[in-house]
Every structure is written in structure tokens, then in C-alpha cells.
Structure 1
Amino acid sequence: MQNLEQEFLKELDDKLWKAADKLRANLDAANYKHIVLGLIFLKYVSDAFDERQKELIALFQQDGDDNIYFMPREDYDSEQEYQQALADELEILDYYREANVFWVPRAARWSTLKEKAILPTGSVLWKNAQGEDVKLRSVSWLVDNALEAIESNNAKLKGILNRISQYQLDSDKLIGLIHSFSDTSFASPEYKGQALSLHSKDILGHVYEYFLGQFALAEGKQGGQYYTPKSIVTLIVEMLQPYSGRVYDPAMGSGGFFVSSDKFIEEKATIQHYDAAEQRQHISVYGQESNPTTWKLAAMNMAIRGIDFNFGKKNADTFLDDQHPDLRADFVMANPPFNIKDWWHESLADDVRWQYGTPPKGNANFAWVQHMLHHLAPTGSMALLLANGSMSSNTNNEGEIRKRLIEEDLVECMVALPGQLFTNTQIPACIWFLTKNKAADTKSGKVNRQGEVLFIDARQLGYMRDRVLRDFTAEDLATVTDVFHAWQKDEGYENQAGFCFSASLTDMQKHDFVLTPGRYVGAAAEIDDGEPFAEKMARLTSTLKEQFAESARLEAEIKKNLAGLGYEC
């Protein structure tokens, strides 16, 4: 069944992307993404809303005394009165919010868009609150009206949803997109004659992430500002396990870490048989983003999944305008831009966040590390992606800051990643895991790891997804995650040559406080083929001498033949 679902999702991805990509001839990726993601947003929330309505109808129409939700048909004077009462009941907002379903007003529902978009311009659509006729101006206006209706009913999205009229897209192309997005049953879909267990949230959430990835590819470096590879996000979330508490991302992009945290809760709920909706009440999401477009995308990304969030009052520079100055988070996760050069401002010179040393003005890597540590709770854990240079650079105070972090026992684990994981950069990357408390914890089962750091070299894991991009399999992610948790809990952990090593402070001192995993894990153990090392070395040396001799003989023969042809060598 899982393979069938994956096949269905891939076919859907291709179909919807081909429909959206037709806009490329009229608009560049930086602009048409707003149109496409806006429509995906409307489709997503509308489908989830429709799915909840069907559940409510089933509850309301239960027979007998078991129906505590709605009066039975026989208690109404007419079928018309019953149907009207049923329709009115379905419009009560609390029924949706209690199930963590996004409230969608009538004007923003997909059925309204599909029905009204094909009408001629100037047609009367409905009457407004003042009893005046509202007429169709254009299909773009109809979509913008839907987005405005959603904002007016959901205070957290006020000013967030991008209007599309500004892009002056032809109505026929918009109608084509609406019909393309409509031409699939997202609720309880069937594929190749089999019912799939995917809900609209599963399907359109997947499509949303797929489109973000495709736009990142289309836009190149700039597009990657809001997209972190899904497998990397999953790896960090699975290692940190943000199950409850305050979760913070100071460079949140489109909010991928928050989405993955929510999925983590859902998966654990299924395995451990608890209520995921109830568990979500124990999670608080905080984020910050400087790019205004990306800040809006993140808010949309949370809304379509029913995740409550606090992204500050506005998009803002994390260093210069911290939107959460008093936050102390239980989990901090981020993929900040690598090696930013133009981040410094003189107002940051004596900033309270630089507890372990002032970061260099020409590179923000250790500014990100210390900003995140500043916002970390006393028992919190954090992870961030950084360029590999952060593990070994000694220029402009970076080596001293790294040394302080190690001596203060803040570094928990270092993971070296393979190349070609990112759409927007070829810079090799690593993951830093830090915590303020490595003492034993009976609640979580963690043992005392004070004075130790786990090094994992994952550079040999993964596969080439295409000619350009590398990715991790689920088995790769489990390999890294399981080793980390086994080390934390001392459950069968062993050092593995070429892959993982638990280092002491003395070990790191010997390596001048360089944190590159390759220095600690060593080379992979050679497979024992039963041949003693001394004999194998003698045999290989003899073979090499024979090959050198043969090479010299062939070279002499070639020179002799060339000389016979009149060529000098």
C-alpha cells in the first residue's frame, strides 16, 4: 500500500507541476510561486474544511438517543427546515477549531472559486453585508477576494496572504489552474482501483513541500532561502525529538522544522496510541525570518496544517531586531544562510548574546550559534546546519569561540554530511547539536555524558536522487538517529571505525579543538579476509613492483615504435 501511495503522490506532483509550470512563459519563478502557492493554500484549507464537514454531517445524522449533537429529522416541521438548520449548524466555527481544522468562509471555499471563475466578468456573485450586489471583476479579483475573506476570519493571517492581481495574469490561465487543481479527489482518494489512506492534509501538504522544492530549483540560490531539504529537516527533528515545549527557529524560511515536528508528533501518536491533537497543546512554535515573502510563506505553511504560531509582529533581521527577546526555548532548530558576510552592525559590538566571544564581522556562523544558545532553556537542546568551515576555522576569533563552547561542555554531537544535498549551494555542510545540560536524566533515560562529544561521519550515506542532488533514504536517517539515541542512553552504543566515535575533552584538546568528525572516527575498519597483515603487505608490494616493471617495459616499447615512425619522445 505504501508503494501505491508513493506512486500516486509522484503522479500527482508531476501533473500539478506541469499545470503550474505553464505560467513560466508569462512570469518568472519568483512571481508565479505566489499565484501557485496561493491557490494550493486555498485548495488545501478548503479540502480539510470539506472533510470536517462530512464528519460533522455523519455525527449530526446519527439515529436515536446517541445523537447528542443535533435534533433528529422528526423534530422539525419540514424537511426544508431540517436542512436549513443542518446547514446553519455546519457554519459554527467551534466545530472546526476543536478538531484543529482551519476555518474557511464561504467566499474562500474551492467550490465557490470553481463555480464563479467561469462566469462572465460583471456577473452578480452575491450580496454584501449592506445588501449591495457584488460583481465579478476578474478571476484574479475572485481569488484575491477569497484570500481577503480568509484573513478577515483568521487574525493571525492578517496581511500575510499575497494578492495575485498585481501580477496581471490572464483569466484563462487562472481558470485552467483552478480546474487542474480541482481534477483530483484529495479527500479519500482512489488509485488504480484501491482506496488510499491519505487525507487531504497528507496529500496537499506533500504537494506544498514538493512545490517549494521545485521553486527552489527554479530560482537557484535565492530560492533556497526558504527551502531546506526534507531529509535533513527530518534527521534533525528525529534526533532532537521535539515532543513538547517551546520550539524556536530564528531563520525559519518556510517553516519546515515546525512542519516536521508536527509530523513527528502524529507518527508517535499512531505508534504509542495517544491523541495527537491533545499533544499539540503542549507545543508552542516561535520563529523569525527577515525575508518578507518567506515570512508570509511560513505563516501560510502553519495555517494549512492548523499549527498555532508566533512569528513576531513582522519580518525582521534576527540579529538587529530580535522578535522574541525573552524567549528561552526547549528546542532550537535552524538552517541559517552559510557564511554571511554583511550581517554586522556596530550596535552589536557589546551584545549580551556574545557570551563565548564576539563573532567575526565577516562571517555570521558563530553569531547564529550564540544567538541560538542565548535563547535556549537551561535544559534545552538545539541543532543548526553550518558550513564545514565552522568545525575547524581559527580565523578572526572563531577558533577561540569554538574552544569556549567545548570547554563549557555545550557541544553534544557533530554530524558531517555528504555533499550535494542542497539546491542552492555546493558548500559542504555539517550539523551542530548543542545542549546546556548533559547530566543524567531519569525521565528521558539519558545517561551522564558530561565531558563527551559524539562524532558521526555520515558523508558516505545517501544516494544520488538525480545528476545534481543527493538525498538520504529512511534507512540512512535511522542509522544516524539510532546511534545518537543509543549513545545518549548508553543502550548498546559502540564506537564504529569510519562512522562514529565518542570523544573526551582530552581527545578534542589533542586535535586543537577542531570538531571535524573525520579526525575522530578514523578510517572504516577493513574487512577481515583471513590473510595475515604481514603476508598481505608483502604480496601487494610484490604485485606493485611487477606492475611498475611492466609499465616501464610498455613505455620503452612505445618509444621504440614511435622512433621507428620518425617521432622523437
Structure 2
Amino acid sequence: MSYGSGKLTPPPVTVGAAEGRIREAIWRGFDRYRGLLDVIEFGDVVLVLLYLRGRPAWQVLVDGDSDVERALRSDLPADGGDAVLLRPLLESVRKAGDMRQMASLVELVDQLGSDHQAHLAQVFSAVLERVGGLTTRKGSGEFHTPRAITELSANLLDPREGDEIFDPCCKAGEFPAAIVDRLTQQGKAIDRLAVAISDYSLRSCALAYLQLRLRGITPQVLPSVTGSLPTGAPESRYDVVVANPPFNLSNWNGGGRFNGRWRYGVPPAHNSNFAWLQYVIASLKAGGRAAVVMPYGAGLSENTHERNIRAAMLDDGVVSAVIALPGQMFAGTDIPVTLWILQHLPAIRSGEVLFVDATELGSIQQRRRTLDAAEIDRIVEAYRDWRKHSLDPVAGFAAAVPIEQVRSEGYRINPRAYIPPINEVPDLRTRAREVGELARQLDRLAQKAAGLDEIIEARLREFSL
């Protein structure tokens, strides 16, 4: 499999009302296939067709050839290895073909029209997000990474032309896709960008592969992290690492002995969180940077192993910033999450950590909370100001905290505990009670003053004054 060839021409990345109309048309079409294809199978087929919609092989399908598998194989590199990777998606394609549903699905996707080809990458992402939300609610166990989180991470990490990118738990490629989108929007070339991906799920790797190929990048697909996570590091090193790993995974080392390279301490066997954090740091080149989604509890864990690892990471300066994100961002869970921004030594701004509390940001869209562009920019601006030594504490939002203070708090990573609060205005009932009490105190003081005045007058009369 090729590695970051960048030989394909990426479509311009734009988002508009057309994207929403196309997405809704596709999901209205799904109603016709209920009972024939489940939501995962329907999603697989539509995503494969969306990928082919922008390729030369599409016209063959429109002309009546319903062999989608052959069309897909004709678009892949000649070595044939990628067809093995796509096996989970091809199974859904074969099922739709066996049920003689392929022609109508091709017709559905063909309705996008040539004027919408510039939107294909974004339509692919939007359909993927909808499928991810539905399959998670059905208990598939695969968590889609929300677009707001991937866009925020891409902005914070500021990828450059020629960077080597790694996502060890790629889901459907949302993180690297956001990085490619950012570079494309900036007018930067992506032909020297190299992307490597891995995951526990072959289906996830297949979707990520198509999503990145649609954007002009052919990623290197590495073996499952089942083998590399217990060792503490992958074989290669990268400029940028992004990850949304499964939280609190037990038996992550396969029940084997701890023979990995753990710079900050051996992680506990019952929880993978600090195995992932160390794995990501070990994946970075000197000066590399990373973004990792973690459950809020990882920063507060009192497990001896986890607390010691967290302390060692903070003391070493590899934790650059921790951002508390709003709840309800994920379709399958309301668990509060944080985004850890990590850096390989030599660290920038070592000796302090930036904490951002974004829990009050965002709005509900399609039953999930998301961040808009202005809110993402606000977080990114705070991070950049901090890196330039120009950030003043923002009440209720952001603060740079010396490592000595974090150490005095037992190395607990709780952004809200370190950020100065906004002065709260008491409600009217509270204010009324306070005013009433002050009035009563004033009456008592006035009565006491009147009594003192009488005493003073009496003493003055005694002195004939």
C-alpha cells in the first residue's frame, strides 16, 4: 500500500446549504430500503458510491453496469492489497447487489449532479457522521469523532506541508481528514503530506481509507493497534499524532506481561487511558505535537499508577494544554471529555499548563452539542496567545497555571478548578434578603446611636456644658 502519495487531485473543500440538502435526500432514500439493508449496510454502500461519484469509473455505473465491486477495484492501486482492506464494505455492496438494489442506489447518488462534485468530500463526511450517530445508538460500539473536535484539533496543531501524520485509532478518518481540509482551505499543497492510520476495526480503516483518498491522500494502513499498543510505541515517529481512543479499555495488553517502553510508568492492566497517552507521546518526533481525546476522569484518577504517570508527564512538560469540552458531543455517550494537547521534548512553555473550560460553549444540533466556528476560534486564539506569552487569564474560560500550583493540587487536571470564576450576580430573592438584613442592622445601629447621644447629652449637662 502506498504512503501519502498525494497523486489524486483533491476536490475543493466547501460547505454550504447544498451539503445539507444532499444529505437529507440520501437519508430519505434510506426509507425505501428498510428491511432490506440495515443502517450500517446502507451507509457502507452509499459511502462507496459517494467515493466513486467523483471517479472515472462512475460513468460505467450510470450507463447500466451494476458491478460496483469491479468499479471500485479498478480505481485502486494495482497491487491489489487495498481490496483486502475494503472487504467489510464490499460485503455490504454484494448484499445490495444480490437484492437487486444497486441500480436504484446508483440513481440516488447520481442525483448529486456534476455541480455538486466540489462538495463530495463534505457530503461523505456528513453521511459518515449520520451513520456513526445511528450505529452508536444501536450499540455497535464504534464511536464517531464529532467534526467540531477534529476541526478544533486541526487548528490547534497547525499542520504544515510535508508533515507526517498518524492516527492510531482512526475511526473513519475524521481527524486526518480535518487536517487535510485545513491545509486545503489554506491553499497549501498536500502532495508531500504523509498519513498513516490504524484501528481495532478493519471497517473503520476501510472507511478512513476511502475518505482520505477522496481528499487526495492515499494513507498507509498499519496493522491493528492490538499488537503495538502493549509495546508502548509504534515503529515510526511522526510530526503530528491525533487520537480518539476507546476510553477505560480493560485488558488492553491482552493479558500479557508489561514489556513495553513506558517512559512515565507502567499503566494499570484494567485501564488503557494512560497507555494511550504514553503511546501517543512515544509516537512523536522531537518537537512533535498531538491531540488526544480523554474522559474527564483521566485527569482526576486517584489510582496510584495513573496518578504517578500523570505527575511524571506534567513534571516533564509534555502536557501543553487541557481543554474541557461540552457534554453531549458524542451520539453514544454523555460522558464529559477533555482534549489533551501534548508535545514532545523540547517542550514549548514548559513549566506551566494552559487550562481551558469550554463546557459552557456550543449549541444543540440534531440532539448533539457542537461548537461553531467562532467558538473554535476563541479556544484556538487563547492557545496561540498562551504560546506567545500574551495570554491574560480569562475569568470562567482560560488560565495558564504554573506546574508548582498543579503539583500542590496533587497533579489533578481539572480545568475549572484552576480558572478564575466569573463573579456571579445573586438572584433577586437573595439580594432582597441581603438588603432587608442591612436595613435591620442600620435600624439597630441608629437606635444604639440615639441612646449614645442621650448619654452624651446627660454627661455634658453634668459638666454644665
* Range into which the TM-score falls when normalised by the shorter chain: 0.7 to 0.9
Q: What is the correspondence of 1:449-464 to structure 2 with a 5 Å cutoff?
A: 449-464=349-364
Instruction: Report the AA paired with residue 111 of structure 1.
Output: Q
Partner Cα separation in structure 1 for residue 395 and residue 275 of structure 2: 33
Distance 1:396 1:38 in 2: 47
Pair 1:302-2:212 in alignment:
yes
Q: For each residue in 1:53-103, what CA deviation from the matched residue of structure 2 results, as whole angstroms up to 9, or x when unmatched?
A: xxxxxxxxxxxxxxxxxxxxxxxxxxxxxxxxxxxxxxxxxxxxxxxxxxx
- Indicate the residue corresponding to 1:212 in structure 2: 128
User: Do the aligned partners of residues 265 and 348 (structure 1) sit closer, same or farther apart at CA in structure 2, a change above 3 Å counting?
Assistant: farther
Q: Which residue of 1 aligns with 2:325?
A: 417
Instruction: Please report how far the alpha carbon of residue 150 of structure 1 lies from its aligned counterpart in structure 2 after TM superposition.
Output: 2.4
Deviation at 1:290, TM superposition (A): 1.5
* 1:176 to 2:104 alignment: yes
What SS class does the counterpart of residue 413 from structure 1 fall into? strand
Number of the residue aligned with 1:126: none
Q: Distance in 2 between matches of 1:480 and 1:154?
A: 44
Q: Please give the alpha-carbon distance, in whole angstroms, between the structure 2 residues aligned to 1:114 and 1:324.
A: 46
Deviation at 1:527, TM superposition (A): 7.2
Q: Closer, same or farther in 2 for the Cα pair 1:288/1:340, shift >3 Å?
A: same
Match of 2:29 in 1: 19
Q: Select the residue among 388, 394, 400 that pairs with 1:489.
A: 388
Pair 1:238-2:137 in alignment:
no
The aligned counterpart of 1:360 is 268
Q: Partner amino acid for 2:220?
A: N
Whether the 8 Å contact between 2:295 and 2:335 is mirrored in structure 1 is: yes
Distance 2:377 2:103 in 1: 44
1:301 Cα deviation (Å)? 1.4
Distance 2:20 2:96 in 1: 31
Alpha-carbon offset, residue 392 of structure 1: 0.7
Distance 1:299 1:371, change over 3 A: same
Q: How does 1:103-122 map to 2 (within 5 A)?
A: 104=56, 109-117=57-65
Is 1:339 aligned to residue 237 of structure 2? no
Partner of 2:119: 203
Give the structure 1 partner of residue 434 of structure 2.
541
Residue 176 of structure 2: which of 258, 262, 265 is its match?
258
* Inter-partner Cα distance in structure 2 for 1:232 and 1:21: 30
Cα contact 2:232–2:279 (8 A) shared by 1 = no
Superimposed CA distance per residue, residues 470-495 of structure 1 (whole angstroms, 9 cap, x where no aligned partner): 010111100100100111012x4211
In 2, Cα distance between the equivalents of 1:459 and 1:430? 10
Superposed displacement of residue 330, structure 1: 1.1
What are the ranges of 5 or more consecutive residues in structure 1 without an aligned counterpart? Answer: 47-103, 118-138, 190-199, 270-275, 440-447, 529-535, 547-569
Query: Which residue of the other structure, out of 410, 420, 428, is the alignment partner of 1:512?
Result: 410
SS in 2 for 1:220: helix
Distance 1:486 1:247 in 2: 25
- What letter is aligned with 2:142? Q
Distance 1:348 1:330, change over 3 A: farther
Q: Tell me which amino acid in the other structure corresponds to 2:218.
A: D
Compared with structure 1, are the counterparts of its residues 457 and 375 closer, same or farther at alpha carbon in structure 2 (3 Å cutoff)?
same
Instruction: State yes or no: 1:408 paired with 2:301.
Output: no
> What amino acid is aligned across from residue 178 of structure 1 in structure 2?
V
- What's the C-alpha RMSD, in Å, of the aligned pairs? 2.7
The code of the aligned residue for 2:45 comes to I
- Among 291, 300, 307, which residue is 1:392 paired with? 300
Is 2:396 aligned against 1:524? no
Contact 2:170 2:199 in 1 (8 A): yes
Question: How far does residue 496 in structure 1 lie from its aligned partner after superposition?
Answer: 0.9
Paired residue secondary structure (1:508)? helix
- Alpha-carbon distance, 1:342 to partner: 3.0
Q: Does residue 30 of structure 1 match 2:40?
A: yes
CA gap of 1:213–1:147, structure 2 versus 1, over 3 A, is same
2:82 is equivalent to residue 157 of structure 1: yes
Change (3 A) 1:330 1:296: same
User: Does the aligned pair in 2 maintain the 1:252–1:288 contact within 8 Å?
Assistant: yes
Q: Which residue of 1 aligns with 2:396?
A: 498
Aligned to 1:376: 284
Is 1:39 matched up with 2:49? yes
Q: 1:257 to 1:178 in 2, by over 3 A?
A: same
2:95 to 163, 167, 172: 167
Partner residue of 1:473? 372
1:291 and 2:216 are equivalent in the alignment: no
Match of 2:256, SS? Answer: helix
- How far apart, CA to CA, are the structure 1 residues paired with 2:141 and 2:130? 10
1:311 and 2:240 aligned: no
Deviation of the 1:320 alpha carbon? 5.2
Per the alignment, do residues 320 and 481 of structure 1 end up closer, same or farther by CA in structure 2, a change over 3 Å counting?
closer
- CA change 1:510–1:341 in 2 (3 A) is same
- TM-score normalized with structure 1 length: 0.69
Equivalent-residue separation in structure 2 for 1:414 and 1:316 (angstroms): 25
Change (3 A) 1:527 1:323: closer
| Alignment partner, residue 113 of structure 2 | 185
TM-score (norm 2): 0.83
SS of the residue aligned with 2:142?
helix
Shift of the 349–206 alpha-carbon distance from structure 1 to 2, 3 Å rule, reads same
Cα separation, 2, equivalents of 1:225 and 1:35: 18
Structure 2: distance between partners of 1:324 and 1:438: 19
State the alpha-carbon separation in 2 of the partners of residues 459 and 5 from structure 1. 26
* More divergent stretch after superposition (153-162 vs 178-187): 153-162
Native 8 Å contact 1:289 1:318 kept in 2: no
Contact 1:417 1:459 in 2 (8 A): yes
Deviation at 1:414, TM superposition (A): 0.6
Relative distance call for 1:421 and 1:358 in structure 2 (3 A) is same
CA contact (8 A) 1:452 1:504 kept: yes
Would the alpha carbon gap of residues 423 and 35 (structure 1) be closer, same or farther in structure 2, given more than 3 Å must change? same
Q: In 1, distance between residues paired with 2:364 and 2:271?
A: 31
Q: Is the 8 A contact 1:295 1:315 kept in 2?
A: no
Aligned amino acid, residue 37 of structure 1:
L
- CA change 1:526–1:116 in 2 (3 A) is same
Paired with 1:226 and 1:424, the residues of 2 have a C-alpha distance of 7
Q: 1:264 to 1:498 in 2, by over 3 A?
A: same
More relative contact order in 1 or in 2 (CA 8 Å, sep 6+)?
A: 2
2:234 to 325, 342, 349: 325
Q: How far, CA to CA, are the matches of 2:152 and 2:267 in structure 1?
A: 28
In structure 2, runs of 5+ residues without a counterpart are 1-13, 440-465
Q: CA deviation at 1:172?
A: 4.9
